[in-house]
């Protein structure tokens, strides 16, 4: 399907503006030409039968690790964006724990040059908050802002209060978003899974919930003081949910995300395998339930994968020795649809809000499923159950806690600016 042809997505359940309805979506070139109950079919149109399927604006992932430049053995922009398209994502925001770190225009250009050359979906890079993510000197927010999605030291919490205050003041002055990885290093004590029942039973060192929520507590105070737009990455604890809920009620400019694994798993699901190790860790059932409640009531704004690929060898050393991080781009939609929507926990419309509409709104990305918008669209088949098999992933990473799960919700077609980024020929009718 090339962008010069009209594409008619026929008869799908269309999601737009918090509602869903049956309609045809007509794509002409790189734009959506119309969303209409019944589109006229013209000679030369490429028609995709979407009856019984979902048609949404392409999913947006605010938190992925594409590992390039610097760590291409784990992932590349080419493989990571292919995985994104496979998962129905048309835009991803790439975290800055790279070599070199994107803490200057010169270093950022090394990353964007690869993006321009290799990406099959839209990639918006993060800049760091501090030079080399070392927490000692803030970056030039004004110089970097036009070229990045937001600012984050992801993988490293900013430990010094005065440094985070200076960063938030700079972000507020330039109307930028601080996207914070919240972790108090002095409270980690060498932990690597949740400090809960599984760790105690199996002799593992635990990561306390306080190591996360204590820094969120600090940052809320600083965000209120500065007026900074503050986004909390991958929250995992019940205390974090409560703090963010209260901050929103108080008028703090705060948003947050959590991941599919935190919403669907707890530490009782852990196994002695590296594919269950990530940071923050999978926590208790009470934490999972609080996160679900937060996704239901609007406290949690976004579901993001924290897609964090590593080599097979790095993930082969069990819970204690494996690298932190699991992949998620190719399973996120199916996990959330199967475990939350099919279970009646959230509505289909709420799912699309969390995965496509809210990320666009919060990060001012534009787009959506409406006439005149860029044709960034995903089509999903919901009927056929499948087994998660990492061998089918397009990512270099294969480490997923969802391996072997039986799920519904496969991507049929992903369009980026009207061009085919992913197509499942076996499912196209």
Radius of gyration, CA atoms only, the chain: 21
Output the furthest CA–CA distance in the chain (Å, rounded).
68
Alpha helices in 174-283 (DSSP H): 197-202, 210-226, 238-249, 260-264
Q: How far is CA 161 from the centre of its chain?
A: 27
| Pair 330, 87: CB distance under 8 Å | yes
Identify any residues that bridge with 122 across adjacent strands, giving them in sequence order: 91
Closest CA to 255 of 359, 148, 145, 149: 359
Instruction: Collapse the DSSP code of 387 into the 3-class scheme (helix H, G, I; strand E, B; otherwise coil) and give the result.
Output: strand
List strand residue ranges (DSSP E) for 295-371, in order: 302-303
* Spatial separation of the C-alpha atoms in residues 206 and 153, rounded to whole Å: 23
Catalytic residue among 195, 267, 306, 376: 306
| Pair 337, 411: CB distance under 8 Å | no
First to last CA, the chain: 14
Q: How far is CA 105 from the centre of its chain?
A: 25
Name the region of 212 (left: φ>0; alpha: ψ -120 to 50; beta: rest).
Answer: alpha
| Pair 240, 232: CB distance under 8 Å | yes
Q: Name the CA dihedral angle for 339, 59, 368, 177, rounded to a multiple of 10 degrees.
A: 110
Q: How far is CA 111 from the centre of its chain?
A: 19
Told to judge if 306 belongs to the known catalytic residues of this protein, a careful annotator would answer yes
Cite the active site residues.
Answer: 306
């Amino acid at each position: 399907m090339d962008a010069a042809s009209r594409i008619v997505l026929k008869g799908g359940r269309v999601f737009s503006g918090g509602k869903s309805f049956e309609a045809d979506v007509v794509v002409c070139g790189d734009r959506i030409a119309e969303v209409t109950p019944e589109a006229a079919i013209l000679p030369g149109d490429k028609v995709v039968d979407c009856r019984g399927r979902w048609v949404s604006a392409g999913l947006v992932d605010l938190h992925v690790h594409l590992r390039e430049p610097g760590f291409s053995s784990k992932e590349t922009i080419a493989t990571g964006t292919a995985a994104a398209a496979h998962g129905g994502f048309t835009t991803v925001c790439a975290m800055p724990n790279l070599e070199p770190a994107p803490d200057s225009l010169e270093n950022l250009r090394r990353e964007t040059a690869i993006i321009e050359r290799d990406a099959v979906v839209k990639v918006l890079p993060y800049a760091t908050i501090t030079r080399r993510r070392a927490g000692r000197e803030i970056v030039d927010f004004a110089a970097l802002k036009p070229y990045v999605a937001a600012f984050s030291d992801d993988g490293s919490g900013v430990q010094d209060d005065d440094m985070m205050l200076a960063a938030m003041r700079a972000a507020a002055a330039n109307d930028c978003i601080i996207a914070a990885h919240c972790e108090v290093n002095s409270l980690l004590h060498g932990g690597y899974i949740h400090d809960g029942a599984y760790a105690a039973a199996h002799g593992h060192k635990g990561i306390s919930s306080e190591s996360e929520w204590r820094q969120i507590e600090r940052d809320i105070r600083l965000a209120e003081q500065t007026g900074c737009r503050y986004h909390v990455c991958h929250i995992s604890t019940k205390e974090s949910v409560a703090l963010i809920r209260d901050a929103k009620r108080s008028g703090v400019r705060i948003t947050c995300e959590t991941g599919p694994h935190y919403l669907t798993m707890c530490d009782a699901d852990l196994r002695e395998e590296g594919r269950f190790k990530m940071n923050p860790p999978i926590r208790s059932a009470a934490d999972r339930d609080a996160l679900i409640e937060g996704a239901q009531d609007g406290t949690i704004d976004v579901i993001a994968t924290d897609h964090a690929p590593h080599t097979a060898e790095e993930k082969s050393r069990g819970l204690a020795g494996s690298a932190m991080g699991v992949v998620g781009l190719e399973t996120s939609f199916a996990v959330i649809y199967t475990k939350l929507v099919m279970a009646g926990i959230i509505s289909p419309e709420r799912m699309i809000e969390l995965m496509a509409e809210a990320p666009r709104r919060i990060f001012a990305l534009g787009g959506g499923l409406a006439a005149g918008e860029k044709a960034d669209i995903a089509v999903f088949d919901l009927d056929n159950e499948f087994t998660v098999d990492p061998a089918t992933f397009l990512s270099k990473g294969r480490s997923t806690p969802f391996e072997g799960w039986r799920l519904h919700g496969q991507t049929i077609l992903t369009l980026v600016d009207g061009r085919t980024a992913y197509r499942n020929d076996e499912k196209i009718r």
